[in-house]
């Protein structure tokens, strides 16, 4: 992610996105890309214990958003709730990275996590699921 920060900033400001989801950030404590884009709040979850992976969300600062904590370090996902305005429902937004060689056990942890957080009536989930045999 670090060497692509300038390109990301240019694209976000050119297209005026409200939400930007990123997979395979390769973030860890030694990376300095944690500075948020002007006008955006950054949520990130780095892979624990090995290189690669990781997910992040940039959310436009005018949106009322809270992060949702999960305790599954093996699942590379990140969840936020965007508060609805004036009688509108909250929106749960998630980003997930599933490595191509992920064990079925971790897939099941993700399904459990999805079930736990998806109490909201509106859910948007994006990511890189690496399921080549699935007909999307």
Give one DSSP letter per residue of 93-129, joined into a string.
EEEEE--TT--HHHHHHHHHHHHHHTTSSEEEEEEE-
- The separation between CA 49 and the C-alpha centre of its own chain, rounded to angstroms, equals 19
Which pLDDT tens digit goes with each residue over 104-133?
999 999 999 999 888 767 899 999 999 888
State how far the Cα of 54 lies from the Cα of 124, in Å rounded to an integer: 18
Which pLDDT tens digit goes with each residue over 10-59?
899 899 999 999 999 887 766 555 566 889 999 999 888 788 889 999 99
Computed over its alpha carbons, how large is the radius of gyration of the chain? Answer: 15
Q: For the chain, what are the domain ranges?
A: 2-128
pTM for the complete prediction? 0.86
Q: List the CATH code of the domain at 2-128.
A: 3.60.10.10
- Positive or negative, the CA dihedral 61, 73, 77, 44 is positive
**Residues 98 and 129: beta-carbon distance below 8 Å:** yes
State how far the Cα of 81 lies from the Cα of 2, in Å rounded to an integer: 26
- The DSSP symbol for 47 reads P
Task: Give me the pLDDT at residue 17, please.
Answer: 94
Which pLDDT tens digit goes with each residue over 58-110?
999 999 999 998 888 889 999 999 998 877 888 999 999 999 989 999 999 99
């Amino acid at each position: 992610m670090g060497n692509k920060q300038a390109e990301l900033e240019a694209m976000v400001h050119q297209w005026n996105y409200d939400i930007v989801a990123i997979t395979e950030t390769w973030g860890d404590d030694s990376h300095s890309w944690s500075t948020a884009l002007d006008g955006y709040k950054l949520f990130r979850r780095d892979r624990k214990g090995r290189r690669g992976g990781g997910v992040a969300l940039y959310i436009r600062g005018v949106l009322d958003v809270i992060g949702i904590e999960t305790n599954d370090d093996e699942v590379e996902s990140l969840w936020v709730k965007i508060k609805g305005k004036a009688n509108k429902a909250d929106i749960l937004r998630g980003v997930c990275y599933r490595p191509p060689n992920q064990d079925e056990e971790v897939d099941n942890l993700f399904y459990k996590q999805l079930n736990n957080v998806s109490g909201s009536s509106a859910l948007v989930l994006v990511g890189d699921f690496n399921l080549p045999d699935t007909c999307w």
